[in-house]
């Protein structure tokens, strides 16, 4: 359970706040804020699924100091705190993405290795959450898939009609797409232009129109990896004319696909694009800070309320959301956790975002805490979008638990 909770706020666009303050008589005056939960469990969180303001499930993995074997970890938000849900462990396990089906059960993917000291023998992993219990999903019928790390998953349908698609790659060189349909797993056929190419696929989604998109990077070719399946199999799609590594893809309430990614380099720079009349066009994000940022997660609700998340240099979370006037960066005023003086904390990126409604969303990620002797341990990053009535102030940080 939660050891302690500290709040932090990220203020949204004035135009959006005005709607809450004056545009609806059913809501009191106030605004929307991102509030951070500090929990006593040291873990990396990678993805989150939200059911309601009082029910969400996050997944990730835990690697204690000096340990060489990570264990999978799942946390459930109960409305008052976060409770751990056990997950089966296979060797050293990292859970990297999760998505719900139409029944509300969750499919999660990742990889296992013998040891985090030499993580060179990766095998793909799939988990299924149903009836309050996580179970491992066997992939034996796929044959030998050594070297594959699964980093994205999307799901359509339910029960016997469920269609699960998991994406990943081998050593950042050759992408793979697995499919579970009709009770069986298969390796999906890919476009012929990818044969012999060096390419990756990081993320996948299915829009409300039933179209699948999978994205990543393609070495030596502008536009990155953009694959589309409209029902006749995967085909490559031309991207914008720039060297880009797409890290996230999602469809809005009108089934318009959006891409989030970064321009590779010494200082990565985040980009947001959407498909308009068959062409990918950039979606500007109005900045409220001057630091470079990168994007790692993207999500929408059924009404089209959207959020893009990632990292803001140096070592801060990044939020940008939809407003009536466009996309706007949200400044984060997070409380800083207490650490021993000899320890350093780096990272703080957000990698997962789940949007339930205009006023309810969850974002997760992690930072890395490192000591003088080289020991390291993940710290979770959990943010919740909540409504704060006018006049309410954030509570001061609670003292660390003894």
239 pLDDT higher than 50: yes
Q: Look at 184 and 316; give whichever has higher pLDDT.
A: 184
Q: Write the pLDDT tens digit of every residue in 260-284.
A: 999 987 567 899 999 999 999 999 9
Strand partners of residue 59: 47, 74
Q: How many other CB atoms are found less than 10 A from the CB of residue 261? A: 31
Strand partners of residue 227: 214, 236
* CB of 201 closer than 8 Å to CB of 246: no
Task: Copy the structure tokens of residue 26.
Answer: 């059913």
Q: What is the 3-state secondary structure (H, E, C) of 124-135?
A: EEEEEEECCEEE
Mean pLDDT of the chain: 86
- Distance between CA atoms of residues 342 and 349, nearest Å: 22
* CB of 281 closer than 8 Å to CB of 294: no
Q: Is 166 helix (H, G, I), strand (E, B) or coil?
A: strand
316 pLDDT higher than 70: yes
Q: What percent of the chain has pLDDT over 70?
A: 83
Extended beta strands in 237-343, E state: 245-251, 257-263, 269-276, 279-282, 285-286, 293-300, 306-312, 316-323, 326-333
- Which range, of 114-118, 366-370, 378-382, averages the lowest pLDDT? 366-370
Q: Write the pLDDT tens digit of every residue in 90-123.
A: 899 999 999 999 999 999 999 999 999 889 999 9
- Distance between CA atoms of residues 340 and 334, nearest Å: 19
Instruction: Kindly write down the DSSP assignment for every residue of 60-113, as one continuous string.
Output: EEE--TT-S--EEEEEEE-SS-EEEE-----SEEEEEEEEE-TTS-EEEEEEEE
| Closest CA relative to residue 184, chosen from 148, 160, 204, 203 | 160
pTM reported for the whole predicted model: 0.88
| Closest CA relative to residue 262, chosen from 332, 318, 190 | 318
Specify the DSSP element, H or E, that contains 369: strand 360-370
pLDDT band per the 50, 70, 90 thresholds, residue 155: very high
398 pLDDT higher than 90: no
pLDDT at 5: 26
pLDDT at 337: 54
216 pLDDT higher than 50: yes
Average pLDDT in the 373-378 region?
69
* CB of 93 closer than 8 Å to CB of 112: yes
Q: Write the pLDDT tens digit of every residue in 329-347.
A: 987 755 555 555 555 555 6
């Amino acid at each position: 359970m939660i050891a302690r909770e500290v709040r932090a706020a990220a203020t949204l666009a004035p135009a959006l706040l005005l709607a809450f303050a004056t545009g609806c008589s059913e809501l009191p005056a106030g605004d929307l804020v991102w509030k951070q939960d500090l929990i006593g469990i040291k873990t990396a969180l990678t993805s989150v699924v939200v059911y309601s303001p009082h029910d969400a499930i996050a997944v990730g993995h835990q690697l204690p100091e000096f340990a060489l074997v990570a264990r999978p970890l799942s946390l459930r938000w109960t409305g008052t705190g976060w409770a751990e849900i056990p997950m089966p462990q296979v060797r050293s396990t990292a859970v990297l993405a999760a998505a719900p089906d139409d029944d509300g059960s969750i499919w999660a993917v990742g990889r296992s290795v013998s040891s985090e000291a030499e993580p060179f023998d990766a095998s793909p992993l799939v988990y299924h959450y149903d009836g309050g219990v996580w179970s491992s999903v066997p992939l034996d019928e796929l044959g030998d898939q050594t070297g594959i790390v699964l980093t994205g998953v999307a799901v359509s349908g339910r029960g016997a009609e469920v269609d699960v698609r998991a994406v990943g790659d081998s050593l950042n060189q050759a992408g793979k797409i697995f499919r579970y349909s009709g009770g069986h797993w298969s390796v999906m056929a890919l476009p012929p232009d990818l044969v012999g190419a060096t390419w990756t696929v990081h993320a996948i989604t299915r829009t409300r129109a039933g179209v699948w998109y999978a994205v990543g990077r393609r070495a030596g070719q502008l536009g990155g990896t953009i694959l589309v399946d409209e029902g006749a199999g995967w085909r490559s799609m031309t991207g914008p004319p720039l060297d880009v590594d797409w890290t996230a893809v999602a469809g809005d309430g009108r089934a318009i696909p959006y891409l989030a990614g970064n321009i590779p380099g010494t200082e990565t720079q985040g980009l947001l694009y959407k498909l308009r009349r068959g062409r990918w066009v950039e979606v500007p994000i109005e900045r409220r800070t001057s630091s470079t940022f990168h994007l790692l997660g993207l999500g929408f609700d059924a009404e089209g309320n959207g959020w893009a998340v990632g990292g803001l240099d140096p070592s801060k979370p990044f939020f940008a959301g939809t407003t009536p006037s466009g996309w706007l960066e949200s400044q984060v005023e997070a409380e800083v956790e207490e650490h021993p003086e000899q320890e350093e904390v780096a990272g703080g990126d957000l990698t997962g975002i789940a949007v339930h409604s205009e006023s309810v969303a969850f974002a997760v990620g992690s930072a890395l805490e490192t000591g003088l002797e080289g020991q390291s341990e993940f710290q979770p990053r959990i943010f919740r979008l909540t409504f704060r009535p006018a006049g309410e102030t954030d509570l001061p940080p609670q003292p660390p638990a003894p």
